[in-house]
Amino acid sequence: MKIDIILSGVGGQGIVSIAATIGMAAIAENLNLKQSEVHGMSQRGGAVQSNLRISDKEILSDLIPNGQADLILSVEPMESLRYLPYLSEDGWLVTNTTPFVNIPNYPDIEEIMNEIRAIPNHVAIDADKMAKETGSPRSSNMVMLGAASPYINLPLKRFEEGIRKIFERKGEDVVSANLKALYAGREFAQENK
């Protein structure tokens, strides 16, 4: 069993919290894990990605080879397309549709959406809107994790435990808001394959 995931977004959007939750789930399942992150200059609003590799065998490279990612999980629509060369033929692209516009020449969002729709295995979800609807605007990353969860072969309860661990010091309200976001995202993905 192996899962290779590319997480993508813009520096400051907090993809590390998603990586940490998936990482905890993998560790709880006694699987091997390698997770490469971006620190430094790109964290200042640049394009960022994290390579997350999970396997029941020894993991060698910290980087996912071309064409071998099982999943691109992006918290920003344009960023979801930047890593397409890594996506395997039958891999899934799960992306947020709310653009993060911090450059003057951000392209037309419709053009971006057309490219996303052209990927046969894709889930496009307005995670920001859904997070607001579930009552916690800051939990959009957990909506995204929920939307990707059907394509990550790990038990849902492990993600729940991970969320509990990460957010418990912020109080039970924050934990339950993030859990709600997780379920909402998951439900959406299952209904909109």
Partner 1 sequence: MSKLLLLGDEAIAQGGLDAGISGIYAYPGTPSTEIMEYVQMSKMAEERNVFRNWSVNEKTAMEAALGMSYAGKRSMVCMKHVGLNVAADPFMNAAITGVNGGMVVVVADDPSMHSSQNEQDSRFYGKFALVPVLEPANQQEAYDMAFRGFDLSEKYGVPVMLRLTTRLAHSRSGVERVKAREENKLKLPEDPRQFVLLPVIARKRYKLLLSNQESFETESDKSDFNRYIPGDDKSVGFIVCGLAWNYLMENFNERPLRNPVLKLCQYPLPRKMVEQIANDCDELIVIEDGYPLVEESLKGFLERGIKVRGRLDGTLPRDGELNPDHVARAVGLEVKSGKNIPPVVTNRPPAMCKGCSHIDMYNALLEALEKYGKGRVFSDIGCYTLGALEPFNAINSCVDMGASITMAKGAADAGLFPSVAVIGDSTYTHSGITGLLDCVNDRSPVTVIISDNLTTGMTGGQQSSATGRITEICKGVGVEPDHVRVINPLKKHHEENREIIKEELEYRGVSVIIAQRECIQTVMRKKKDNKSKQ
Site residue total, partner 1 (CB under 8 A): 57
Cross-strand bridge partners of residue 53: 4, 34
Closest CA to 14 of 112, 140, 122: 140
The two tokens of residue 149 are 């969860």
For residue 116, give the 3-state DSSP assignment: helix
Closest CA to 75 of 97, 92, 91: 97
What single-letter amino acid sits at 174? Answer: V
Per-residue binding letters, 31-50, with partner 1 (x by CB under 8 A): -xxxxxxxxxxxxxxxx---
Q: Does 97 bind partner 1 (CB under 8 A)?
A: no
Only one of the segments 110-118, 131-139, 140-148, 151-159 lies at the binding site for partner 1 (rule: CB under 8 A); that segment is 110-118
The 3 state secondary structure assigned to 95-122 is: EECCCCCCCCCCCCHHHHHHHHHCCCCE
Within 65-84, the residues that bind partner 1 by CB under 8 A are 65-69, 78-79, 81-82, 84
Q: Does 4 bind partner 1 (CB under 8 A)?
A: no
Q: How far apart are CA 7 and CA 117, in angstroms?
A: 19
Q: How far apart are CA 191 and CA 185, in angstroms?
A: 10
What single-letter amino acid sits at 171? Answer: G
Only one of the segments 51-59, 122-130, 151-159, 176-184 lies at the binding site for partner 1 (rule: CB under 8 A); that segment is 51-59
Within 112-151, the residues that bind partner 1 by CB under 8 A are 112, 115, 119
Least distance between partner 1 and beta carbon 66 (Å)? 5
Q: Kindly tell me which of 42 and 192 has the beta carbon lying closer to partner 1.
A: 42
Binding site for partner 1 (CB under 8 A): 10-12, 23, 27, 32-47, 51, 57, 59-63, 65-69, 78-79, 81-82, 84-89, 91, 102-108, 111-112, 115, 119, 169-170
